[in-house]
Copies of this chain bind each other. A is one copy, B any other.
Amino acid sequence: MRGKTTSANAVPAMRGSLHRSVAQDIGARILNGEFAPGTLLPNEAEWCASFGVSRTAVREAIKMLMAKGLILSRPKIGSRVQPRTSWNLLDRDVLSWYCAAANPTHFLVHMQQVREILEPETAALAAVNRTDGQMAEIENAFNAMAEAKTLSAWNAADVVFHQAILLAAGNELLVPLGLVIESALGSMFNYTASQRGDIGRTLPGHARILAAIRGRKPNAARLAVRQLLRDTGRVVDQVTSSRPKRPRAAKA
């Protein structure tokens, strides 16, 4: 009855932490709908048995999920899945679990909507608030894009470009928001280039954004970003319409 290694414990080692992989597993299954909001989770002893780990590990995992707003645990009651409204969906982990579980089409559409709302205004703010140092950062990233020969170099520079604008906007709240969106999108596909042929295609669009921010023209920056999003939006459209993508082990 020892090395039971029940079901879900397919995770081999996961570099370091055990509690982390336990949290990972439970969290994914909650986002997955296997444990719906309001559901009472198995108690600690049952988790210990099913994962074959100690209570310590399970409890630390539960504390992490608690910190992310997924569950609430109380003595004698157990751990109950919280209503969706208290989930920290904008947490990197939670978002990645959601992203793996949810309908990818829906998810991408929503993500794109948020980008279309945020990015133009972020650029407009950057045009107003940027410092010279931040401007230099943006220009460096742009130059790196211009000189990029490989797809990965292009995309890396692209990410830096976006982040530099984000920082230049000078809004503490916008930064984490942008980073989360980026990291979620980045794990699915790249910003403005998905094939070798795309390299440089959107460079003029980026140049317009750069110029607007340099010239401190918020409205021009806003329009330039909208234009760029229209161009690259097609990439998303392609993905969402064909929607083959990794179907991600459709278990149950």
Contacts and interface: CB of A to CB of B under 8 A. Distances in A.
**Nearest 4 Cβ contacts at the A-B interface:** A67-B67, A64-B67, A89-B176, A117-B121
Nearest to A27: B67
A160 to B, nearest CB: 13
Interface string A107-123: 10011011001100100
A92 interface: yes
Secondary structure dominating the interface of A: helix
A60 B19 CA distance: 11
Interface string A82-103: 0001011111110000100010
A150 interface: no
Nearest to A95: B173
Contacts of A92: 69, 88
A91 B89 contact: no
B175 A177 contact: no
A107 B102 CA distance: 33
Interface centre among A68, A89, A118 (most CB of B within 10 A): A89
A236 to B, nearest CB: 14
What size tier do the contact residues of chain A reach? 35 or more
A85 B110 CA distance: 23
Q: Copy number in this complex?
A: 2
A171 B114 contact: yes
A172 interface: yes
11 contacts: A19-B63, A64-B66, A85-B176, A89-B173, A89-B175, A90-B91, A90-B176, A90-B177, A106-B172, A110-B174, A111-B173
A141 to B, nearest CB: 16
Nearest to A116: B121
A172 B121 contact: no
Given A88-B92, A89-B172, A172-B106, A63 B67 contact: yes
A62 to B, nearest CB: 9
A90 B19 CA distance: 24
Contact of A174 (B68, B114, B180): B114
Contacts of A179: 85
A92 B88 CA distance: 8
A74 to B, nearest CB: 8
Given A64-B64, A67-B63, A90-B88, A177 B177 contact: yes
